A and B are shown apart, each in its own frame.
Chain A
Amino acid sequence: MLPVERVIGEEGLSAAPQGLRLAMRLPWYRSLPFSTVAVASLAIDGEPVDLTDAVIEYDGSAWPLAANGEQVDSFWFVRDSAYLVLPGRSLPVGSAHEVALNVTVSPPYIPGMTRANPQTEMLTAR
């Protein structure tokens, strides 16, 4: 996997008071407005995860994943991880899980282009 294709962040999977937290990287060479990025799917141990209540956390702010398309003036710095938070979910600390995440990007200067970036990794919950 090339650095520019990576979507699962180095910080991995962790249990947080607000729910399960997964680090994500932006699969592009530059920062993009969050509105041009979408979490297309997430599966843990082969089970698709319902993302209806999921939240994006980035740099001290948080918003519902469902409203991510409105974040036109909020930029995801390409070196940073953003976090996908799944309220009400948890996993035992130290347990290993297969995480399959697909993040799409639609670069805002290339009309009509959407690129899918699937990645599957074994992660140990922290």
Chain B
Amino acid sequence: MTIPTGPQVGVTLYSFTNEWLTRQYDLPGLMHEVSARGLGPNIEIIGFQSFKEFPDVSDDFAARFKDLIAETGLNPVSCAINSDRFLRPGQQPIDDASLVEYHKRQLRSAKKMGFSLVRYQFALPVELLPQIAPYAEELDIRMGVEVHAPMWAGHPAVQAYGEMYDKLNTPYLGWIPDFGGTASRIPESMLDAARAAGAPEGLLDKLKEVWLEPGMSHEKAGRLREWALANGHAPAHIQAASLAFFILANNDPASWAALVDRTIHIHGKFYGVGEDLVEEAIDYAAILPLFRDGGFTGTIVSEWEGHAYLGTDGFEQVARHQAMCRKILAG
């Protein structure tokens, strides 16, 4: 076995959400396709996207999954779990004990299927971490909280988690950066999709302007909405334009440097990589060297999210994204 000397590339099956939802592939079919196209071996799977039995996977299913892993030669690195706290819309969140147990159920399932780490979410109140971390240690599975837009290294929630990480001081807890929090611009493919939905250029110009302003994403979305309604734009066009606020934020790419030490896995979020191997919104050339030079040896899973506004397939995009990452990492 080779000892990794730098970041590895891989893929999350989330990139193939369109193919999955349209039932073009079942799970064995999709895993074989990923393997045949050479997009692995390291993969991430969202438990609640790909496993019907989640959050409580049976021994029988886990055994079949392990057989599938052996057949395809893939390596189950990360299982994304969810911090589903608001099970009754408009009512109080579930109690803390139930939320802790909900995480333990998912940790057990991920471990049983052979994953080496889980992605978890900031919806888990930080003060519950001392109840869950020892269980992860006992199971021997690492947990990485996903730093996803609108969050970034300087966000108060990230800082509160960092303080708890210092206190608990265990290698089983870490970060999973998602680069959508440090986009440099709104992807042109997303703007094109809004144009195709009928959004006029004036609305998109205002979107680009507001998106770059300081402030929280939901405030900026509110600001655009207010302006757009006052200027006679249709609600459907405003909705198409506002997607950018919810999945992308424009924090400084260099800010990731503060999280490199405890990064255990990376979501290589992207929207469109051209034939020139440049991603249209996220400046990978500025970001990846921070992790490579900081000693990160985990996996960057290619995470194509164009399916939020395009019906096309993700395979070609993932292949290009991986080629781009390899090129930058070798540079």
Q: A interface vs B, CB < 8 Å?
A: 2-4, 6, 10, 25, 29-33, 35-36, 38, 69, 72, 75, 77-80, 106, 108-111, 114
The listed residue with most B CB atoms (<10 A of its CB), out of A36, A79, A111, is: A79
Give the complex CA separation of A25 and B46 in angstroms: 19
Q: Given the interface contacts A29-B49, A30-B46, A31-B54, does A3 sit within 8 Å of B18 by beta carbon?
A: yes
Q: CB < 8 Å: which of B48, B86, B94 contacts A111?
A: B86
Q: CB < 8 Å: which of A6, A10, A35, A75 contacts B48?
A: A75
B20 at the interface (CB under 8 A from A): yes
Instruction: Kindly list chain A residues whose C-beta atoms are within 8 Å of the C-beta of B36.
Output: none
Per DSSP, chain A at the interface is loop
Q: How many residues of B contact A (CB 8 A)?
A: 31
Instruction: Kindly list chain A residues whose C-beta atoms are within 8 Å of the C-beta of B94.
Output: 72
Residue pair B82, A114 in contact (C-beta under 8 Å): no
User: Shortest beta-carbon distance, A120 to chain B, in Å?
Assistant: 14
Residue pair A75, B85 in contact (C-beta under 8 Å): no
Give the complex CA separation of A106 and B84 in angstroms: 11
Q: B interface vs A, CB < 8 Å?
A: 14, 17-18, 20-23, 46, 48-49, 52, 54-55, 82-90, 93-94, 121, 123, 307-311
Q: CB < 8 Å: which of A10, A31, A33 contacts B87?
A: A33
Residue pair A75, B54 in contact (C-beta under 8 Å): yes
Give the complex CA separation of A114 and B94 in angstroms: 18
Residue pair B21, A79 in contact (C-beta under 8 Å): yes
Instruction: Kindly list chain A residues whose C-beta atoms are within 8 Å of the C-beta of B87.
Output: 33, 35-36, 72, 108
Give the complex CA separation of A23 and B46 in angstroms: 25
Residue pair B48, A109 in contact (C-beta under 8 Å): no
Residue pair A109, B49 in contact (C-beta under 8 Å): no
Instruction: Kindly list chain A residues whose C-beta atoms are within 8 Å of the C-beta of B21.
Output: 3-4, 6, 25, 29, 78-79
Residue pair A29, B88 in contact (C-beta under 8 Å): no
What are 18 A-to-B residue pairs whose CB atoms are below 8 Å?
A: A2-B18, A2-B307, A2-B309, A2-B311, A4-B18, A29-B46, A30-B48, A31-B48, A32-B48, A33-B87, A72-B88, A72-B94, A77-B52, A108-B82, A109-B123, A110-B86, A111-B86, A111-B93
Residue pair A30, B49 in contact (C-beta under 8 Å): yes
Residue pair B307, A33 in contact (C-beta under 8 Å): no
Residue pair B85, A109 in contact (C-beta under 8 Å): yes
User: Shortest beta-carbon distance, A92 to chain B, in Å?
Assistant: 29
Question: Nearest 7 pairs between A and B by C-beta?
Answer: A106-B89, A108-B84, A3-B21, A30-B48, A72-B87, A109-B123, A30-B49
Residue of A nearest to B27 (CB): A79
Residue pair A3, B307 in contact (C-beta under 8 Å): yes
